[in-house]
Amino acid sequence: MSDDIITVDEFEKTRVARFDKLEGSTLPMLDAVIPGCEREIFHIIGRGVGEDATQKAAISDNRDFNVSVVRCGPGKGTLHHDHETNEVFMPLKGRWKIFWGDDEDSRCVLLDPWDVASCPPHVMRGFRNVSDEEGLLFVIVGATDPGRVTWRDDVLEEAERRGHKLTEDGIEQVPAAAE
């Protein structure tokens, strides 16, 4: 055997993510400030398309893909967004609606635990936990650098109305208007 094989200690420190030790973000994406979009995202491998500049991934070596887990209550999810890469969804707990296009109902599929769906690049998409319990959704975003999320204008406007905007550095609070 080669002496340059990674040690068990180094493997544990750099290549293992223990779910009970992950630090999630409750403001992972801009739309999380909008009612119905409250959720927590745990970055497991890479940061993917996360917009919380303070959140770290448990495993930083994300060559060619990023892995996250979304946790949210019934009826919660994300609004329409797009990215440069494929996005794969697999429910771990609960039933999830994956939707694309102009609304949540015209083009959608329902996924139960262990079902898998892959959304292609440049298609507005979103997801929602449609079960009666807290749900967990396993998400893979392709590419080492998957780029940034593109939000629909109505999502950007609603987030700003609620006091948040997206900058090059991540999500920022909009200063209150002077009275």
Inside any domain, residue 44: yes
Number of domains in the chain: 1
Inside any domain, residue 99: yes
Q: What is the CATH number of the domain that holds 168?
A: 2.60.120.10
> For 33-41, what is the mean pLDDT?
97
Inside any domain, residue 51: yes
Inside any domain, residue 4: no
CA distance 149 to 137: 18
- The fraction of the chain above a pLDDT of 90, given in percent, is 88
Q: What is the pLDDT of residue 2?
A: 64
Inside any domain, residue 102: yes
pLDDT digits (tens, 9 = 90+) for 11-32: 999 999 999 999 999 999 999 9
12's enclosing H/E stretch is helix 8-15
Inside any domain, residue 7: no
Q: Could you tell me the residue range of the domain that residue 54 belongs to?
A: 20-172
Inside any domain, residue 25: yes
Inside any domain, residue 14: no
Q: What is the pLDDT of residue 179?
A: 42
CA distance 102 to 37: 17
